[in-house]
Amino acid sequence: MVNGVTVVDQKTGAVYQGTVDLQPTLDRIANGEKYPSRNDGSTFNNNEGRLPQEPAGYYKEYVVPTPGIKGVGPQRIVTGQNGETYYTPDHYKTFIFVKR
C-alpha cells in the first residue's frame, strides 16, 4: 500500500487521490499474467535517469490500473532483474521504492 498518492490522468485531467494497493499488480506480475497493454512487461529504458543506472534491458515496466481513469493511466511498477521494485504514480516523473 502506498498512502497519500495523487494521480492525474494526462488525457482528461481527472484526479485520483488516496491509497494505492499495489498488491494485485505485484501478484499479477509474480503469476506471469499480462495486463491488456502493449507496454505491460516491456523493457523500461530509464531514459529519465531517475532509477539507478543499469545495463540496457535490466528494468521491466508494468501497468498499475487507476480507478476512474480509462486506459492504462500514468501509474507503473518498474522491476529490476535483482528483484528491486519501484512505483511511479506520475508516468516516470517520480519513483517510490517498494519494500517487498
Q: What are the 10-residue block averages of pLDDT along the chain, 100 residues in total?
A: 77 79 95 92 95 96 85 91 94 89
How many domains, in total, are found in the chain? 1
Catalytic status, residue 84: no
Residue 16, domain CATH: 3.10.450.30
Four-residue CA torsion sign, 21, 15, 73, 58? negative
> Is residue 91 among the annotated active site residues?
yes
Q: List phi, psi (to 5°) of 36.
A: -70, 70
| Residue 23: all three cell numbers together | 498488491
In the set 33, 48, 61, 84, the catalytic residue is: 61
Question: Model's pTM, two decimal places?
Answer: 0.88
pLDDT at site 18? 78
Range of the domain at 14: 2-97
| Contact present, 88 and 95 (Cβ < 8 Å) | yes
